[in-house]
């Protein structure tokens, strides 16, 4: 009987092993699905790899040459993690100043960095200027180089506010891989004609970086003479820039489902900021 029971015992153990493996596999699949659906979920699986790119824990799939995000440590410490987006002249700069003052986050503006490179005539700036003057989006590879130079993924404990990036699906993926996963994406909505009016009247102070407007926010008398109009601030270029923004707008919405909130930006700046604070403080984020 003992001899006859041995094969049965072996089969039982084998069945139990198969069942356990199936349960573990199902658990892994469920964890992967949850991780891919929610940017708020991060699972630290340090045993998979000791290599960290930015704040993202990554691994190399031996069967495929691509690098995949396995788990993400959220860069930004305990502070807010915010992305603000909108067409040119939608009021992002003004709102960024208010957000930084209230929440103490680190403001990282790709637009300012690009213009600084152009002003300093760096190699990156020369390449970017041709695209900016034509009203075209600066290519992703240039944007990523600017991001690296600005040390986007430094994990500032006060949190961060990204302004002007991401604009395309590849940029969304790159930020996720760097551990820069937002808890809120603010999307400012302003009619096209209003955007054009705001743009063509802008004045830029090359010494301080301050932006003024001929009608709505004239520069002080002591700086008015040195203010200039940027080469890309004209109606034809502006309408092209608006068109480019709209083409890529859906990439942002699709990439951050569940954390995007649309704000009417065609109002007084304080009214716009009040709605932004409501979204950030009470998690009233649209799907």
Nearest to 185 by CA among 168, 169, 163, 170: 163
Measured between alpha carbons, how far is 213 from 205 in angstroms, rounded to an integer? 11
Instruction: Verify whether residue 230 is a known catalytic residue.
Output: yes
Catalytic residue among 115, 129, 167, 198: 167
Instruction: Verify whether residue 37 is a known catalytic residue.
Output: no
Measured between alpha carbons, how far is 165 from 171 in angstroms, rounded to an integer? 7
> Which structure tokens are listed for 118?
């152009």
For residue 30, count other CB atoms closer than 10 A to its CB. Answer: 10
Catalytic residue among 102, 145, 230, 249: 230
> Which structure tokens are listed for 11?
């089969």
Measured between alpha carbons, how far is 31 from 6 in angstroms, rounded to an integer? 38
Catalytic residue among 92, 106, 129, 198: 92
Measured between alpha carbons, how far is 79 from 102 in angstroms, rounded to an integer? 12
> Which structure tokens are listed for 272?
């716009």
Instruction: Verify whether residue 202 is a known catalytic residue.
Output: yes
**Contacts of the segment 208-211: beta carbons below 8 A, 24+ positions apart:** 209/112, 211/93
Give strand pairing partners of 58. Answer: 69
Nearest to 144 by CA among 129, 133, 128, 156: 128
Residue reference for tokens 């208010």: 98
Instruction: Verify whether residue 92 is a known catalytic residue.
Output: yes
Catalytic residue IDs = 92, 167, 202, 230, 241
């Amino acid at each position: 009987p003992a001899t006859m029971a041995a094969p049965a015992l072996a089969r039982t153990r084998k069945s139990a092993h198969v069942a356990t493996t199936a349960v573990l596999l199902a658990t892994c699949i469920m964890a992967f699905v949850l991780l891919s659906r929610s940017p708020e979920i991060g699972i630290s699986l340090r045993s998979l790899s000791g290599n960290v790119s930015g704040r993202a824990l990554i691994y190399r799939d031996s069967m495929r040459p691509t690098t995949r995000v396995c788990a993400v440590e959220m860069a930004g410490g305990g502070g807010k993690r915010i992305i603000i987006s909108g067409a040119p002249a939608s009021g992002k700069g003004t709102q960024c100043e208010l957000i930084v003052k209230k929440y103490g986050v680190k403001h990282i503006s790709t637009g300012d960095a690009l213009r600084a490179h152009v002003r300093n005539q760096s190699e990156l700036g020369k390449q970017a200027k041709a695209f900016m003057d034509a009203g075209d989006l600066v290519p992703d590879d240039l944007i990523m180089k600017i991001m690296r130079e600005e040390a986007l993924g430094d994990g500032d404990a006060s949190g961060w506010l990204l302004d002007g990036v991401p604009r395309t699906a590849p940029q969304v993926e790159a930020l996720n891989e760097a551990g820069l996963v937002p808890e809120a994406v603010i999307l400012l909505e302003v009619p096209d004609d209003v955007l054009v009016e705001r743009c063509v009247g802008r004045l830029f102070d090359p010494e301080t970086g301050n932006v003024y407007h001929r009608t709505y926010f004239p520069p002080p008398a002591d700086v008015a003479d040195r203010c200039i109009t940027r080469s890309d601030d004209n109606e034809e270029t502006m309408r092209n820039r608006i068109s480019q923004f709209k083409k890529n707008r859906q990439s942002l919405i699709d990439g951050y489902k569940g954390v995007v909130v649309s704000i009417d930006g065609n109002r007084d700046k304080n009214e716009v900021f009040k709605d932004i604070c409501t979204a950030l403080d009470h998690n009233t984020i649209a799907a």
